[in-house]
Structure 1
Amino acid sequence: MYLATDIATDALVILKLPSIDLRHDPDYLKRFMMEEWVARRINSPHVLKPCTVTRKRNFLYVVMEYVEGQTLTQWMIDNPAPEIEVVRGIVEQIAAGLGAFHRMEMLHQDLRPHNIMIDKAGTVKIIDFGSTKVAGVVEAVPGEDGREMLGTLQYTAPEYMLGEGGTPRSDLFSLGVMTYQMLTGRLPYGASHATARTKSQFRKLKYVPAPDDNRAIPVWVDGAIRRAVQPDPYKRYEVLSEFLFDLRHPNAKYLDTASVPLLERNPLLFWQGLSFLLTVAVLVLLARLYGGP
């Protein structure tokens, strides 16, 4: 990827060339060629736009608009403790871009901080479409069964790692993980999500609540994020708008934390309490056994 100047317009553009290491990989080349095709069919201020190429192409390349700013990855480094309202604004803009994909029956499939740009005006854009799946377009799906994992594991929905097909809820999972990371600086399941490969392993994942001693995150915001990143896609929100609404408006069922098992709310406290009770039980049994008649 290179920063270049269009000699016809004198505008700065991004020139993207195929990877030298993958130039003989037909699946990679299919995805590369699909990237511009996808970009030309999406019209959103929150999705990177392709540049019009009027001259004859003598080799394979893609020209995209240049966004002066920083990736969400760098933004999180520069803003380790952002206000919730700022995070909401970023999430809503990403969701607007995702919505443009979904309306065209496309799944992004590789939503992660490195693929999000924030320009100097604060506009957020999705910038990479190399993993996008287009409904009914076989060429957009690598391999014969279309089940190759293309995303970054920390943000990839479990159904992909189980070899199942994705849905808009899969992109929502990735958005939920990024929302959690922006607010906490952590991942909702730690490192265990990236190593899980079976349904049993995903069922055993323990969500780490976002609120802690250092961050005043409302429990109802945490409840919305928890639902968005559920390992089971059918337990997530059906549409992006529901998630966005719950990020701004307290949902009554997330205010009643007593209805959530302690094991899910605070796994560490649960196991500490269980260990204490077992220790007491053992001491009582020993006392009865050796305490005489």
Structure 2
Amino acid sequence: MSGLSVSFGQYSDKGRKPANQDCHGLFLPDEPLRSTKGIAVALADGIGSSSVSHIASDCAVRGFLSDYFSTPDTWSVKQSASRVLMAINAWLYAQTRQSQFRYDMDRGYVCTLSALVLRGSQASVFHAGDSRIYRWRDGELEQLTTDHRLWVSREQHYLSRALGIQPHLELDYLHCTLAAGDLFLLVTDGVYEYLGHAEITELLRTATALDDTAKHIADQALAHGSDDNVTVQLLRVETLPPHDAETQLGQARALPCPPALAPRTAFEGYSILRELHQGHRSQVYLARDDAHQQTVVIKVPSTEARDDPAWLQRFVMEEWIARRLDHPHVLRAVPPTRPRRYCYTVTEYIDGQTLRQWLHDHPAAALSSVRDIVRQIASGLRAFHRLEMFHQDLRPDNILIDRSGTVTLIDFGATRIAGLQDQLPHALRDSLLGTAPYTAPECFRGHDSHEGSDLFSLGVMAYQLLTGQLPYGTAVAAASLSGRQHRLRYRPLTQYRQDLPPWLDGPLRKAVHPDPNQRYAALSEFLFDLEHPNPALHAGTAAPLLERNPLRFWQLLSLVLALVLATVLVWHPG
């Protein structure tokens, strides 16, 4: 099955200048890196006023092409490239500040940078400065980047953006869909200032070999009087992955589903010991690896799920996700030691119970125990969020707690991976996968989940661990419209437990707020407020007496009504 393939050509020359301050590069990785990270091309142009800007150009291009491919493959292209470029920018800025040019940035480690990443059927453009990226499609030339120049007169201008000028980098970002035959052109200002749009169009119209065409475009710029360095890069898309192509995570149909398993069954080098769980979508077994004498958990698709390719793709992703997370509070995948003939997953075995079972055993849990559990869950969530992954199905059934009190997050079938969203089938991208009472309201409106969505689920569980109830009952799923969600009413803890400190409602109310913008910006803030009274959360926000103590409310109301009735009888005895 064909995937993404390109042809390319590059050419650079110092022109009439004594040295070439431009730098360009291209990286064409093999699989599986080409599928997970893509193909990258970058072009940097040093500023003429600096004698060290060629170092900046070289560092920018080399650093981007090496570091981008070292970022986690769960990150989106945008996050990976942006973080790398911001790190390069900070390093260049620091070099200038530590040099003799610290007070004259025009002579420091400064350069423009334009980068293009092709992955799957998508293109991502990152740009700062006045180099340019064009796209040639169906005979039309389109400029994709904007020149970051500040003109002070018709003859004089300055760069308004570039790498190394400021401690913080402001990047232009563009995302577009690829088509077979797309031709991308990257050029420095020494080229486009001397070749107009129409001239470049004609040169591309008659293009043959891309290396020859790149040199021809540069030569034409010099022939038209360019007195600057000239660099040209051409990248043409030859083939694209089929729209229904399965990524390396979705090879669910490559292997058949296992036969029926039962205790004492020998299966793929494992001995099945007993069934742990049977659900609508999967069956889970305790097994022993005969070769390593290791107790493991094997999960296989259930009979009902075997004809659902979208769910099978999610099923295969679970182990892929687990292999990328190495954290004491996240379930670990067992590395495969032999080829598999069937579709199943293997993870470590944790001797414990689900948080749901723990909740039944501790109906009025101590606040200290709840804080400890919430802290461990949040620690596991951070491991997901650092890799731009979001669990999406946090609930007591998907959390294990062992005899020592250690908490482990399990079941990653609903996990959203930002870096792979554009490679997944629409059936997987658009589906609501969480469990209704624990799912953040914005997810019911079709918005992508994020860190705040997982925080909402964590807040609901914290509330449930303390009270055995849900903060909004079952009203969250029913309120699918934003207007109804704003009418959700939080139930104070005192409705169920009088022994808890009143200020505890503040952090819980904020964590489960229907509006994601009103929740905590970070898990650490929630954890801190869960242990320390925050006056800003509970000052002047006491709940009505009816919510805090319904019995006392009705007692007082009955007393008032009795007094009113007595007064009426006194004044109107007849």
Do Structure 1 and Structure 2 share a fold, with TM-score over 0.5?
Answer: yes
The answer to whether the aligner puts 1:135 opposite 2:418 as a matched pair is yes
Aligned-partner SS, 1:259: coil
User: For 1:220 and 1:109, how far apart are their aligned partners in 2?
Assistant: 28
Aligned to 1:94: 377
Per-residue Cα deviation, 1:46-101 (whole angstroms, up to 9, x for no partner): 00001111111001010000000100000000011111011000000000000000
Aligned to 2:348: 65
Aligned to 1:189: 472
Judge conservation of contact 1:110–1:150 (CA < 8 Å) in 2. Answer: yes
Residue type of the alignment partner of 1:216? D
Question: What is the CA distance between 1:216 and its match in structure 2?
Answer: 1.3
Q: How does 1:45-194 map to 2 (within 5 A)?
A: 45-138=328-421, 143-144=426-427, 146-194=429-477
Which residues in structure 2 correspond to 1:260-275 (within 5 Å)?
Answer: 260=542, 262=544, 266=548
Q: Which amino acid in structure 1 is aligned with residue 331 of structure 2?
A: L
Q: CA deviation at 1:138?
A: 2.8
- Tell me the percent identity: 49
Residue 167 of structure 1 deviates from its aligned partner by: 0.9
| Residues 225-244 of structure 1 aligned to structure 2 (within 5 Å) | 225-244=508-527
Once residues 496 and 358 of structure 2 are traced to their aligned partners in structure 1, the CA distance between those partners, rounded to angstroms, is 23
Quick check: 2:456–2:513 contact (8 Å CA) kept in 1?
Answer: yes
The one-letter amino acid of 1:259's match is T
User: TM-score by structure 2 length?
Assistant: 0.46
Q: Deviations over 1:167-216 (max 9, x none)?
A: 10000000000000000010001122232211111111111001246441
Greater Cα offset, 143-152 or 115-124: 143-152
Aligned to 2:309: 26
Most deviating of 260-269 and 247-256: 260-269
Give the number of the structure whose alpha-carbon radius of gyration is greater.
Answer: 2
Q: Describe the SS at the equivalent of 1:151.
A: coil
The structure richer in strand per residue is: 2
Please give the secondary structure, in 2, of the residue aligned with 1:136: helix
Range with bigger deviation, 205-214 or 239-248: 205-214
Q: Secondary structure at the match of 1:21?
A: helix
What is the distance in 2 between the residues matched to 1:233 and 1:272? 35
SS at match of 1:70: strand
Distance 1:95 1:253 in 2: 23
1:38 Cα deviation (Å)? 0.5
Q: 1:203 to 1:272 in 2, by over 3 A?
A: farther
Q: CA deviation at 1:262?
A: 3.0
For the residue of structure 2 that corresponds to 1:67, the secondary structure is coil
C-alpha spacing 1:128/1:45, structure 2 compared with 1 (3 Å): same
The answer on whether the counterparts of 1:34 and 1:140 sit within 8 Å (CA) in structure 2 is no
Q: For the structure 1 residues 160 and 145, does the alpha-carbon distance in structure 2 shift closer, same or farther, using more than 3 Å as the test?
A: same
CA distance in 2, matches of 1:54, 1:170: 36
Amino acid at match of 1:77: H
**Cα distance, 1:201–1:141 mapped onto 2, change above 3 Å:** farther
1:220 aligns with 2:503: yes
Give yes or no for contact 2:495–2:550 (8 Å, CA) kept in 1.
no
Q: 259, 267, 281: which is aligned to 2:541?
A: 259
The offset of 1:19, in angstroms, is: 2.2
Give the match's secondary structure for 1:227: helix
Note if contact 1:92-1:244 (Cα within 8 Å) is conserved in structure 2.
yes
- CA–CA distance in 1 between the matches of 2:471 and 2:294? 41
Paired with 1:139 and 1:54, the residues of 2 have a C-alpha distance of 31
Alignment correspondent of 1:5: 288
Structure 2 stretches of 5 or more lacking a match?
1-283
Give the 3-state SS of the residue equivalent to 2:400 in structure 1.
strand
AA aligned to 1:135 is A
- What is the CA distance between 1:220 and its match in structure 2? 1.9
Structure 1 letter corresponding to 2:371: R
1:101 and 1:108 in contact (8 A); partners too: yes
Q: Using the alignment, how far apart are the partners of 1:65 and 1:196 within structure 2?
A: 39
Distance in 1 between residues matched to 2:495 and 2:307, nearest whole Å? 49
Is 2:359–2:465's contact at 8 Å kept on the other side of the alignment? yes
Q: Distance in 2 between matches of 1:241 and 1:72?
A: 22
Letter in 1 for 2:376: Q
Partners of 2:486 and 2:310 lie apart in 1 by 32
Residue 137 of structure 1 aligns to a residue in which SS? helix
Distance in 1, Cα, partners of 2:424 & 2:378: 23
Higher normalized helix content (fraction of residues): 1
- Counterpart secondary structure, 2:313: helix
Give how far 1:10 is off. Answer: 1.2
1:12–1:84 distance in 2 versus 1, CA, 3 Å: same
The alignment covers a number of residue pairs equal to 283
Larger RCO (alpha carbons 8 Å, 6+ apart): 1
**Maintained 8 Å contact 1:206/1:264:** no
Question: Aligned partners of 2:292 and 2:446: how far apart in 1?
Answer: 46
- Which of 139-148 and 210-219 deviates more? 139-148
